[in-house]
Structure 1
Amino acid sequence: MSQAVSYDLNGAIAVLTISNPPVNALGLAVRQGLVAGIEKAEADAAVKAVLIIGEGRTFPAGADIREFGKPPVDPYLPEVVLRIEACNKPVVAALHGTALGGGLEVALGAHYRIADKAGRIGLPEVNLGILPGAGGTQRTTRIAGAKATLDLATGGKPIGADNAHALGIIDRIAEGDLKEAALAYANELIATGTASRPSGERREGLADEAANLAAIEDTKTTLAKRARGQFAPFRIVECVEAALTLPINEGLAFEREQFLKCMETPQRQGLIHAFFAERTCTKVPEASRAEPRPLNQIAVIGGGTMGAGITVAALNAGLPVVMVERDAESIARGQANVEKVYDGMVKKGRLDEAGKAKRMALFASATDYAALSDVDLIIEAVFENLEVKQDVFRQLDQVAKPGAVLATNTSYLDVDAIANVTKRPQDVIGLHFFSPANIMKLLEIVVPANPADDAVATGFALAKTLKKTPVRAANADGFIGNRIYKAYGLCATYMMEDGASPYEIDKAIYDFGYPIGIFQVHDLAGMDISWANRKRLAATRNPLERYSAVQDKICEAGHFGQKTGRGMYVYPEGARKGEPNPDVLKVIAEEQARLGITPRDFTAEEIMRRYMAAMVNEGAKVLQENVALRPSDIDVVALYGYGFPRYRGGPMKYADMYGLENLLADLRAFEAEDAYFWKPAQLLVDLVENGRSFEDLNKES
C-alpha cells in the first residue's frame, strides 16, 4: 500500500484513508494506493465492503496541481475510477470538505456516497480550460440528468451537500461524525445484502428525455453569450449529449477524447496560467517580512460612487465602516448611495431585508474628522485631484491614531506627493479600487518610496478580507493597469485617425474575447475623466509624442459618453447599449484632413496585432522599471481589472504563446511609422536575443 492511502479493517469493512495533505490531491501515490486498496479488499474473503474516506480537512479536492503540464503517469485517473467501480463488493465514498473534479469522479466511481453536512462537490475543470476526464460528465448525467451535470460542469461552481443529495448524487447526509456514519452505512449494506451499484449502469438521470433535451438547448443558448470564444464549455455539452445516447463505455471514450482535445488548446495553457498567477500575486516582499496591523474598523472619506462601493465591499466582509463627508447633505447622499446598492441586491433576490439590515448596522457616518480617532485604516476616496487629496491627508494626519494606515484610492496620482504632506509617510499606501468597487475583484496596492512593511502587509490583509485579488504596484503614473491601458488606448486612437473606425476597432476587440471594446469603455467610464487626465499631463507631454484631438473635440461639445447620452456612441433615451455616433466620424474626417492623413483600411487581425503589441510592449516597460514584480502580476491586473479574456491567460502569457520574436518583429515594423510610440522595450529585446520568455521571469521571481 502507498503511504498516501492507508488500509485498515473495521470488522468486515476495508477502510481506505487518503492522506496527502493539504487537500488530498490525486497525485500518483494516491492513485496507486486506491487501486492497490481495492485489489487487496477484493482478494480478502472476510471483507464485505469498502469505505473510501479522506483524512484531514477534505476528501480529494481534485488533481495534483504539481502534475499540471507534465506527462501523465499510469495509473491514470480514469483507470482508477473504473477499477473502483468494477469492485465486486459495495464501495462507499465518505465526502467532507470539497470533493471537486477528480475527487468527485473518484466518489462517482464508488457505488454509494455519504457526505458531511458541510461538504461541497463540484466539477470545476472548465475554469482550467478542460473538462472532467474521468467520467464526470457520463456518470453524473446517468445519476442526476443533463441539467444538473451541465450546471456543475459548465458553471464550474461547487454545490452544497444538501443540494447534491436532492439531485441524487449524494445518497445520504451524515448525522454526527462522518466516519462513524459511513461505517454504519456500509454495515447496513452488508446486513441487507445490498450489491455493488456501478454509477455507469444507472438510468435515473436518463428517464426524462424531454427535460434533458431542453437542458441541452438552454445551455447552448446560455453559453453562446457567457462562454463566447471558449472551447471547453461546448465540448462539455457534447459529452453530456453523448451520455444521453451512448453506452457507458462509448460515452467514457468520447469524454476522454474531448478531454484530450481540450488539453491541446492554447486556452488550457492560458487558464492554467491564470490559475497560478492569481495565487502568486499575493507573494510580496513586505508581507513576508511583517505581519499586518489590526483591522477592526475602517473609515472611508467620500460617499460618491467609489466611496460607496468601497464601503459596501467592507460591510459585506463584516467590517465596521465610518463614512466621512463634508456636510450633512453630502453624508446623507453617501449613505443613500450605499443603501441603493443593497436595495438593488434585494430587488434581484441576492439579499434579503434582514441581510441588508445586518450590513447597515455596521455603518456609521460623520461630518467631522474627529470621528476617525480610533480607526485602524482610513481610505480616502475623494475627487481625483492632487491638491484635494493632499488637503484630506493633512487633516487625517492631525486626527488619526498612531499606527493607523492611511490609504489613498487614486487611479493615477503620485502617492508619495500625498504621503509627504503628512508627518507619517511610513503609514501611507495606495489602494486603487476598480469601479464598481463592491464587485470588481482587482485591488492594486501601491507602494510609495518609504512605507513600513506592515502598512503594505495590512493592504494585502484588507484585500483578503474583502475577497479581492491584490497586485503590488510601485508608485508610478497610472501604476500598472492604467499605465498599460493608456498605451493601448493611444494605439486604438492612432488606428482610428489612420482609417479604422472606432466601431471596427471595438468589434475586433470584442471578437478577440473582451466583453466590450475600448471606445465603449471610454463611454462607460466617462470620457471627461481621461480628458481631464490628458489636460493634467499636457505640460509634461513629450513633443515627440503623437497627439490626437478627436476625443478632446467630442468632450468639448459636452459629450462624455453614457452619462450624457452621447459620446463615441449615441445612447437613445438612456439606453445602455450605444449606436455609432455619426458626429464622431465627421470629427475623425476633419482631423484627418487637418493632419494630412490619408485613411487606409485595417483588417481585424491587423487591429489586434497592433493593440496587443502596444499592450505587451508597455507591460515590458512596466517590468523593466520594476513597477510590477513579475509578468504574471500584469496578467492578473489585465484579467481582473480590464476584461482581458481569461482563456488567453493575460497579455504577457499571450505574448509568450504568440512568440516574443514575432511580437518584436511587429514592433520593429510599426516603429518605421512612429519611432517614439513603437520603440520596443529593452527588456523585450533582451529576452528575444537570449531566447527567453516572460514565463522565465515568472519562475525567477
Structure 2
Amino acid sequence: MANYTKRDEVAVIELNNPPVNALSFEVRSGLQNALKSAIDDQDVKCIVIHGKGKNFSAGADIKEFGAGTKQQKPWITDACRLADESSKPVVAAIAGTALGGGLEVALFCHYRIGTPSCRVGFPEVQIGILPGAGGTQRLPRLIGVNSSIDMITSGRHVMAEEAMKLGILDKIVTEDIIEEGVKFAKSVVGLDLAHRILKNRKIEAVSPKVFDDEISRVKKKYKGYIAPLFCLKAIQASVQLPYDASMEQELQLFQHLVGSNQAKAQQYAFFAERTSARWQLPTGANSQNASPLPVKTAGVIGAGTMGAGIALCLITSGIPTVLVEQDQKFLEKGIKTMEGDLRGSVALKKMTAEQAKKAMLILKPSVNFEDLHDVDLVIEAVYENLALKKEIFAKLDKICQPQTILCTNTSSLDIDMIAEATKRMDKVVGTHFFAPAYIMKLQENVYGKNTSAETVATVMALGRRIRKVPVLVGTCESFAANRMLHPYVTEALYLVEEGASPYEVDQVLEDFGMPMGMFRVSDLSGLDIGYKVRREAAKRQGIDLTLGTRFVNGERVCLLADVLVEKGRLGIKSGKGWYNYGSPGKKEAIPDPEVLDIIEEHCRKFGIKKQKISSQEILERMQLALINEGFRILEEGIVSKPEDIDVIWIYGFGWPKYMGGPMFYANEMKLKNVYRKICDFHQKYPFSIHWTPSKLLARLSETDLPISNWTSLINSNSKL
C-alpha cells in the first residue's frame, strides 16, 4: 500500500511495504490513488514520494513474474504516468535503495534527492530480465546512452556521489530525508517543469557503431546470457524511436525475457542463494535459533596462495588478522602476493588506494604461533595432509583461548578426524574457500558430528561479512563440492581414453556455458595439486596407486593426469600441462600434439581401442555423472536441499546462472529422463561406480514433482 498525508501545501506519499518496499500490486495501486488525490487537491502545490523505513524501494516483487507476463494492473508505468503529467513538481526522496522498479518510479518524478548512503541501479539483468517500466527509455534521456548501457547491462549499484555526478540525483542531503524532501519540493514550486519531464527530452545522437561495439563487448563479457543483449536492444530503441514507440518496444522485449527459460533459471538461482543462508543441523538447531559469536580479530595459518587470499578477504572486510607462516621468506612472498592483488583491485576501481592501505595496516605478519593467542577465530590453510593438520590443531588448542573457533580450509579431509586432535571438538569447523580465495565467492562451511550450532552460526555470518556466499554441508570425504567434481573429472578422463581429445571435451563444456573446460581448469590449478591429493587419499586407504593401476576395489581408474605430472607437465606454472603455454605463467592455452601422443601411448599400453565420441555424449556423461552424485549427497543428508548444490556449482565452479545449477538442470530435463540415461550408462560402464543410480533419484523420478517440492519430501521421508 501507499500512505498519503499532507504537510501544509505538500502531499507526502509513503511507499509502505517494508523492509524493501517491493512494488506489489497493493503498493502500485496505492501509489496511483495517492498521486491522483494529490493532483486533484487544489491546496497541494507539490508532491514528495518516499519509502517507509530504511529504503525507497528495491523494485518489483519478483514472485509476480512467475505467473507470466500479465501482472495485475496498475503496472508501474500506469501508476507513475500521473507524475509525468502533473503540473505540480514531484520529488523522489531516496534513502537506502532505489533499485529496478524503485528507480523507475524515481525517474517518473521531476526531481530526485538522496542521502549520502543511498544506492540506485537496475539489477534486473541479473535475474534474466530488463527494466520494464521505462527504465531503458528514461535513463538514457537523463544521463546519456553510454552511461545507461554501463548501468543497465551490468546491473551494478551506483552510490549517491556517482549518481549525483551522472545527473540521477539533483541533491544529496544529510538530514532527515522526508523533511529534506518537503523542503526541496517547496523550493521548486512555480518553476518550469517542461525540461524536467524525461519523456519529452531529446536523446543524444549516437552512431550505430556504438551499439555494434557494445553488442560485441556484451557477448564476450556475458557469454551465453540473453538479457544483456535485450537491454541493448531496448536502449537502442530509445535512440531510434519516438518515446511511445520505444516504450512499446521495451515492453515487448521485457515480456519475451520474462517468459524465457533463462529468466526462470536466473530467478531460481537468485532465491537459491538466499535460501542457502537458511541452515539446519541434524540436532534441530538452525539459522533461526543459533547466534554467532563476535569475530573482532582473526588468524590465518599459511601464507601460500590460498592463505594469502583468505587473509585478504578478512582484512579488506575490516577484520584485523594475524598471518602466520613458518618461514620468513614464504611469509614475505605471501605479503607481496597480497599487495599485488590489492593493487589490482585499485586499478579495477573496486577500492581506493587509501582503502587498500588501511587494509594492510590491520595485517600482522608473523612466524610465531603464539601471536594467535588472543584471536577470536583461526583459519588453517596449509597443504592437504591429515597428519600436518592434526599437528597444527593440537598446537592451536593449547595456544588459543578456550572460546576461539578453529577452522580448516581442507577441501576433502574429514572434519571429525581433524577435530580429534583438540579438546574443543564443538569449536572445530571447515571453512573451504575456492581458489583464488580473494575472488571466488563460494565458502563451503563443513560441520562435524560435534560442531556446535554457535560455531556454525559464526562461520556462516563470517562468510557473509567477507562478501562470500556461504553454504553449509556435512562432513564426508571431499564434502559436497569436490565430491561432485570427482565423477565429472573422472568421466572427462575416461572420454579421453576412449577417443575424445582433451580439447574436444573442453570445447563442449565451454559451448554448454562453463567459463572454462575441465582440462584448462586443471592446468590453472596445477596438475600436481590433484596428484598429491590422490596419493595422500590412497595412502590413507592403504592403496598402492602406481601408474600401471587400472582398477581399484573393482572401480576403473584413469591416471593420465598423473602421467603428465611425472613428465613435468604441471600446468600453467610449468608452461605445459594438458595444453602448451609457451612458458611458465602465460595463460594462452594452445592444444599440444605431444599430449595427444602421450594419450595414444597410454591407450596402446592398455589395449584401449579409441572411437569417435559425439559432443552430446561428452556433455551427457560429464553432467549426468555429477548430477547423480548430487542426488546421493542429498540422499545421505550431506546437504539439506538441492538449492545448496546449485549455489555451490554456480559460485564454486562457474556453472552458468542462466541454467540454474545442475539440480535445476536435472529438473528441467525431467527426472525420469535423467534416471533412464544414468541407468543406461550404468549398464554400459559397470566398472564406473559413479554410474550406480542414486536411490533418491530413482524414487523422485517416479513422480513429476518440481524441484521446489523435493526438500520437504526428502526431509519428511515420505514415500514418493
Does TM-score exceed 0.5, indicating one fold? yes
Aligned mate of 2:605, from 591, 594, 615: 594
- Structure 2 residue ranges without an equivalent (≥5): 281-285, 544-550, 716-720
Aligned to 2:283: none
Correspondence list, 1:275-290, <5 A: 275-285=270-280, 286-290=286-290
Say if 1:469 and 1:562 are closer, same or farther in 2 by CA, change over 3 A: same
Is 1:544 aligned to residue 554 of structure 2?
Answer: yes
Is 1:694 aligned to residue 691 of structure 2?
Answer: no
Aligned to 1:578: 589
Moved more, 192-201 or 36-45: 192-201
Aligned to 1:34: 31
Is 1:419 aligned to residue 419 of structure 2?
Answer: yes
Aligned to 1:329: 329
Aligned mate of 1:564, from 574, 582, 601: 574
Moved more, 466-475 or 452-461: 452-461
The 8 Å contact of residues 312 and 438 in structure 1, kept in 2 or not, is answered as yes
Residues 526-546 of structure 1, C-alpha deviations (whole Å, 9 max, x = no match): 111112222234445852211
Residues 442-493 of structure 1, C-alpha deviations (whole Å, 9 max, x = no match): 1111101111221111111221221111111111111111110111111111
Aligned to 1:658: 669
Moved more, 171-180 or 58-67: 171-180
**Identity rate of aligned residues, in percent?**
38
Question: Hey, what's the Cα distance between the residues in 1 that align with 2:473 and 2:393?
Answer: 21
Aligned mate of 2:233, from 226, 229, 238: 238
Backbone CA RMSD of aligned residues: 2.0
Question: Hey, what's the Cα distance between the residues in 2 that align with 1:186 and 1:287?
Answer: 44
Aligned mate of 2:619, from 604, 608, 628: 608
Aligned to 1:523: 523
Moved more, 194-203 or 683-692: 194-203
The 8 Å contact of residues 263 and 658 in structure 2, kept in 1 or not, is answered as yes
Question: Hey, what's the Cα distance between the residues in 2 that align with 1:82 and 1:478?
Answer: 56
Aligned to 1:45: 42
Say if 1:403 and 1:162 are closer, same or farther in 2 by CA, change over 3 A: closer
Question: Hey, what's the Cα distance between the residues in 1 that align with 2:108 and 2:353?
Answer: 43
Is 1:142 aligned to residue 152 of structure 2?
Answer: no
Residues 87-133 of structure 1, C-alpha deviations (whole Å, 9 max, x = no match): 34332222221110000111112222222232221011000000011
The 8 Å contact of residues 687 and 693 in structure 1, kept in 2 or not, is answered as no
Q: Give 1:472's aligned amino acid.
A: L
Moved more, 350-359 or 318-327: 350-359
Say if 1:480 and 1:562 are closer, same or farther in 2 by CA, change over 3 A: same
Say if 1:130 and 1:176 are closer, same or farther in 2 by CA, change over 3 A: same
Q: Secondary structure at the match of 2:429?
A: strand
Question: Hey, what's the Cα distance between the residues in 1 that align with 2:464 and 2:192?
Answer: 51
Say if 1:332 and 1:228 are closer, same or farther in 2 by CA, change over 3 A: closer
Is 1:18 aligned to residue 20 of structure 2?
Answer: no
The CA deviation at 1:173 is: 3.0
The 8 Å contact of residues 298 and 322 in structure 2, kept in 1 or not, is answered as yes
The 8 Å contact of residues 576 and 583 in structure 2, kept in 1 or not, is answered as no
The CA deviation at 1:335 is: 3.0
Aligned to 1:466: 466
Q: Secondary structure at the match of 2:55?
A: coil
Moved more, 217-226 or 492-501: 217-226
Q: Give 1:239's aligned amino acid.
A: A
- Give the length in aligned residue pairs: 694
Q: Secondary structure at the match of 1:295?
A: coil
Say if 1:239 and 1:631 are closer, same or farther in 2 by CA, change over 3 A: same
Please give the TM-score of this superposition, normalised by the length of structure 1.
0.95
Q: Secondary structure at the match of 2:555?
A: coil
Question: Hey, what's the Cα distance between the residues in 2 that align with 1:555 and 1:506?
Answer: 19
The CA deviation at 1:508 is: 0.8
Question: Hey, what's the Cα distance between the residues in 1 that align with 2:401 and 2:172?
Answer: 51
Question: Hey, what's the Cα distance between the residues in 1 that align with 2:300 and 2:191?
Answer: 64
Correspondence list, 1:426-441, <5 A: 426-441=426-441
Aligned to 2:162: 163
Say if 1:340 and 1:91 are closer, same or farther in 2 by CA, change over 3 A: closer
Say if 1:145 and 1:682 are closer, same or farther in 2 by CA, change over 3 A: same
Is 1:617 aligned to residue 614 of structure 2?
Answer: no
Moved more, 121-130 or 321-330: 321-330
Correspondence list, 1:178-193, <5 A: 178-192=177-191
Question: Hey, what's the Cα distance between the residues in 2 that align with 1:273 and 1:389?
Answer: 38
Aligned to 1:7: 4
Question: Hey, what's the Cα distance between the residues in 1 that align with 2:690 and 2:351?
Answer: 49
Correspondence list, 1:148-547, <5 A: 148-174=147-173, 176-192=175-191, 194=193, 197-203=196-202, 206-210=203-207, 213=208, 215-285=210-280, 286-346=286-346, 350-538=350-538, 539=542, 542-547=552-557
- Structure 1 residue ranges without an equivalent (≥5): none
Question: Hey, what's the Cα distance between the residues in 2 that align with 1:271 and 1:349?
Answer: 27
Aligned to 2:96: 97
Q: Secondary structure at the match of 2:249?
A: helix
Q: Give 1:548's aligned amino acid.
A: C
Residues 645-690 of structure 1, C-alpha deviations (whole Å, 9 max, x = no match): 1111111111111211221121122122113332211111100113
